[in-house]
Every structure is written in C-alpha cells, then in structure tokens.
Amino acid sequence: NAGVTQTPKFRVLKTGQSMTLLCAQDMNHEYMYWYRQDPGMGLRLIHYSVGEGTTAKGEVPDGYNVSRLKKQNFLLGLESAAPSQTSVYFCASSYRPQQRQGPSSYNEQFFGPGTRLTVL
Amino acid sequence: DQQVKQNSPSLSVQEGRISILNCDYTNSMFDYFLWYKKYPAEGPTFLISISSIKDKNEDGRFTVFLNKSAKHLSLHIVPSQPGDSAVYFCAASASGGSNYKLTFGKGTLLTVNP
C-alpha cells in the first residue's frame, strides 16, 4: 500500500497563476483533509471531505477550492495564487470516526509527504 | 485564540536521557489527544494517543501523561535516541459531530545529541 500520496512535491508559481494539488489514498478512508503548515503556525485545516462528492470548509479556506469526485482522490485548487499561499501543504485521510458520546473514538489521520509551494 | 499550545519551540537533550515535551489546551470539550512526529520533508506520522478516561498511556519508549484538571499533557521519551530528533505536534479532538477534527499545536523541535 502506498498510503497517502501527493502530487507534485514542489511547485513555484507566479502571482495570479492557478494550479491543482492532487492527493490520493489507497486505504479506503472516508474522510480526507487538506492542511497547510507555515513556520510557527503548526497545521491548519483548509478544507475537508467526509465522503465522495462532499466537501466543507476548515479553518483557513479562503483562496482555495476542493473537489472529491472519487473516494480515493481529494483535489486542492488555487484559482489565483497569492504570495500568502506560499506554504507546505499536507493531505491526510482517516476512517469515519465512530459517532458516540464520551471520549472520541480513535481518529488517527494518515498524512501524505507534503507539497512545497512557493508563490512569487 | 490558540486552543492547543506547545510553549517550547525547541528542546535539546542528550542521548540516553529523558525527553519531556509539554502541551496545554484550553478547550474543556477536548477528550482525545494525539502526538504526531514529523521529520523534515516528510508528512507527520502518528506516534501515540490518549483518551480522557485515562491518565497514562505507554508504548515502548513513549509515554503520554494527561492531567485533565490542569488541561495539560506531556510526552516522555525514555531513553532518547538521535533518531527521535524531529518536530513533535500535539493534537486534540472533541466528542460529537466534529470528532473528525484535530486541532494542532505549533510543534516542538526535539534535538537528541549523540
């Protein structure tokens, strides 16, 4: 199993250009996530998906769009890149957490290797 | 407002000694906590977790302690090895409809010196 893979690994864009980051997972996970990591900021959730055909906004969604046309793929799009979007982007996936009262069920998220994006 | 705080950006320890990484949280709804480890140019990998019904969870050299009253958890690595040098992220989740969501701290860079 490849786990979670991301394409491309590196990319340099000019301001205003567009691009799509691809995430693929082969673990049959229902949930998928896009995060960005900036120096001193930790991991922040951009968008997530709870299943094929559904997406939702996370903590920092502005300037990004996503699509989940197939269960195994989650795409992150930048329509008009800005220097503020220079970051490392991580995709993650997980099984659907069990819905119950009390302490959360185990909710390990599996991460891809990341895409380093620079916007000039 | 940061709900998960890792106040030490970095920590340096000698090989063979104990490493203690700390994490504080402010949201009383958090009831499940995870530690992730990240090497440069790689994605984070899950290390160990703890539910709020426990105060300790151990896995080999790694032990996580949870103090709910203080809203504090810590990761102990004993003995520390050079291969443990990485950034460690603390993360938390809450029960209910949003239990998929993990809130991460900013991370602590651990350096284990030979």
Chains A, B: CB pairs < 8 Å: 73
Average pLDDT over residues B16-30: 96
Across the interface, whether the CB atoms of A104 and B32 are under 8 A apart is answered yes
Average pLDDT, chain B: 94
B50 forms beta bridges with B33
Q: Above 80 in pLDDT, residue B76? A: yes
Element (H, E) at A14: none
With beta carbons under 8 A apart, name residues in chain B contacting A44: 104
- Asked if A63 and A77 touch (Cβ cutoff 8 Å), the reply is no
- Asked if A87 and A37 touch (Cβ cutoff 8 Å), the reply is yes
Q: With cut-offs at 50, 70 and 90, classify the pLDDT of residue B68.
A: very high
At A99-120, the pLDDT tens digits run 545 555 566 899 999 999 999 9
pLDDT of res. A99: 53
Q: Which long-range contacts (CB under 8 A, 24 or more apart) does A43-47 make?
A: A43/A90, A43/B44, A43/B89, A43/B104, A44/B104, A45/B101, A45/B102, A46/A76, A46/A89, A47/A76
Q: Which of B99, B103, B109 is the best substitution to test chain A (most A C-beta atoms within 10 A)?
A: B99
Average pLDDT over residues A75-101: 88
Across the interface, whether the CB atoms of B34 and A108 are under 8 A apart is answered yes
pLDDT of res. B99: 66
First to last CA, chain B: 38
Element (H, E) at B96: none
Question: What percentage of chain B carries pLDDT values higher than 90?
Answer: 85
Q: Which amino acid is at A88?
A: V
pLDDT of res. A39: 85
Q: Any CB–CB contact under 8 A between B62 and chain A?
A: no
Average pLDDT over residues A55-77: 96
| Residues in Cβ contact with A46 at an 8 Å cutoff, skipping those fewer than 6 apart | A34, A35, A36, A58, A59, A60, A61, A64, A66, A76, A89
Q: What is the dihedral of CA A1, A112, B78, B32, to 10 degrees?
A: -100
Average pLDDT, chain A: 91
Across the interface, whether the CB atoms of B9 and A40 are under 8 A apart is answered yes
pLDDT of res. A108: 83
Q: How far apart are alpha carbons A110 and A9 in whole angstroms? A: 17
pLDDT of res. B60: 96
pLDDT of res. B97: 67
> pLDDT higher for A115 or A98?
A115
pLDDT of res. A96: 77
Query: Could you write out the DSSP letters of every residue in A52-114?
Result: TTEEEE-SS-TT-EEE-SSTTEEEEEESS--GGG-EEEEEEEEPPPP--SSSPPP-PPEE---
Residue of B nearest to A43 (CA): B104
At B30-51, the pLDDT tens digits run 989 999 999 998 999 999 999 9
With beta carbons under 8 A apart, name residues in chain A contacting B101: 45, 48
Q: Any CB–CB contact under 8 A between B95 and chain A?
A: yes
Q: How far apart are alpha carbons A49 and B59 in whole angstroms? A: 31
Q: With cut-offs at 50, 70 and 90, classify the pLDDT of residue A31.
A: very high
- Asked if B20 and B76 touch (Cβ cutoff 8 Å), the reply is yes
